[in-house]
Chain A
Amino acid sequence: MKPHPQVKEEMDRFMREVATSFDGKHRVRPAA
């Protein structure tokens, strides 16, 4: 299994670098 810190970093990277290219609720509900 992937180390947990790497999972957290990749989730964060996804929101910063990928999710911003798409519409969705994340645009009006930013992560806490």
Chain B
Amino acid sequence: MIQKLWAADGRISHHYPFDDVRSMRKTIQNPVPVYIASFSKPSLEVAARLGCGLIVAPLAAARYGGLKQVADLYDETCAKHGRKPGRLMCSYFILFYDKKAEEDAARARQIRCYGDCAIPALPSDPKNAPPSYTYFVEMAERLQKVEPARLSENSVRLGGSHGIIDTLQKAEAAGFAKVTHSTSA
């Protein structure tokens, strides 16, 4: 409905159980690119059905085999719904290091970040999480068990510039148009 409001010149009301609904500020971009953040197949399905772009967490993409597999699944699902695939984006933590001591510190910091920030924010108790959030519970379990030496490019970009460029090129080859990064952890 929001997309229809943005696209409409005037009000829309005859298709929805609302009276006299309109967007008071028209967007400069038309159509506005809309992205759906996806950690699971149902959200990927919604993005494909509505013709939205997709923002993928690489950690979640690992459940399907990686970014390429998610891109293929998104393309197939868009085709199933007769939609043209939108843009794909993903985000990563970047851990720069050139020396072993820097690597150890970076990996330890990342694990602390998971413990302090990520895990507490995830629904991790199966007794309280609805069935549709099972993947969150699994993700929290994986993050709780991950060891510094086992951090991989499924969740972080590691190493010197050349190593980071290599893994970014894999995302590009998989069809990802944009990758955002965080260096703050």
Report Cα–Cα, A13/B164, bound state, in Å: 12
A11 contacts the other chain (Cβ, under 8 Å)?
yes
Count the B residues whose beta carbon is within 8 Å of the partner chain — how many? Answer: 13
Main secondary structure of the interface of A (DSSP, over half): helix
Give Cα A18–Cα B179 distance, bound, in whole angstroms. Answer: 12
Are A2 and B184 in contact, with the CB atoms below 8 A? yes
Whether A13 touches B161, Cβ cut-off 8 Å, given contacts A2-B109, A22-B168, A22-B172, is yes
Does B96 touch A at the CB level, under 8 Å? yes
Partner of B185, one of A2, A11, A22: A2
* CB pair A11 B172 closer than 8 Å: no
Interface centre among A14, A18, A22 (most CB of B within 10 A): A18
Q: Which residues of B contact A17 (CB under 8 A)?
A: 161
Chain B positions 94-131 with a Cβ under 8 Å from a chain A Cβ: 94, 96, 109
When each residue 147-181 of chain B gets 1 if its CB lies under 8 Å from chain A and 0 otherwise, what string results?
Answer: 00000000000000100110011001000000001
Is there an interface contact between A18 and B109, defined as CB atoms closer than 8 Å?
Answer: no
Query: Across the two chains, which residue of chain A brings its CB closest to B110?
Result: A2
Residues of chain A touching chain B, judged by Cβ–Cβ distance below 8 Å, are 1-2, 7, 10-11, 13-14, 17-18, 21-22
